[in-house]
Amino acid sequence: MRAAAAFSIVVAGMAAACQQPAFAEGAVATPAAAVEAHEAPGLKTAIFAGGCFWGIEAVFSHVKGVTSAVSGYEGGARDTAQYERVSDGDTGHAESVRIIYDPAVVRYDQLLRIFFAVGTDPTQLNRQGPDTGTQYRNALVPLNVEQSRVAAGYLAQLKALNLWHRPIVTAVEPNRGFFPAEAHHQDFALHNPDHPYIQQWDAPKVAALHRLFPAQWKPAFTPG
């Protein structure tokens, strides 16, 4: 990870997950996918896990063709899909985002490109920046055969290119269910733009999206 100097801000009342002072992380100019998605007309669903869900949600909420982005938990059971339990790191869940998108505007392979370029560092195992634990793992959760094919192809392409100069640890996980997070986590960057975590960690991701993907950028935040 290419990081700037650490910010030594202590925020009263902060809990562990998604709320630690953070490093500003550089984006990576990922290539267009060699394996393009061929998706039938109509809205589609995709799930991405890449660290704290606030930032992943903020990025996809500014992508043209995305009609909804919802923060939540994937990979574990329904009865432990609560923030306090998931933050213990032993429930099997990953903080993740479920998006609804129109493939006539943005294909699944293009969403993958954005995810790896500005959303997450795929070389960090069971962590993302200042947040540590299995709940912050990198994972793609294909929801159909076509998404599985495209995800496998793009991961292979990125691994061959070695853009990060470290091994990619992003996993492809089966769909075990997605459970929306609590209401106060939804559209968090929209409602809390001055939150220290958003300012230091997630606003740079959204700025990188605008810079690297101007054709797919939309200025308005799409609420979940």
Distances (CA, A) of 129 to 46, 183, 188: 23, 24, 19
Active site residues: 52
Cβ distance 136 to 127 under 8 Å? yes
Distances (CA, A) of 38 to 51, 106, 107, 148, 215: 28, 11, 8, 12, 20
Residue 110's closest CA among 177, 144, 59, 164?
A: 59
Residue 35 CA from chain centroid, whole number:
21
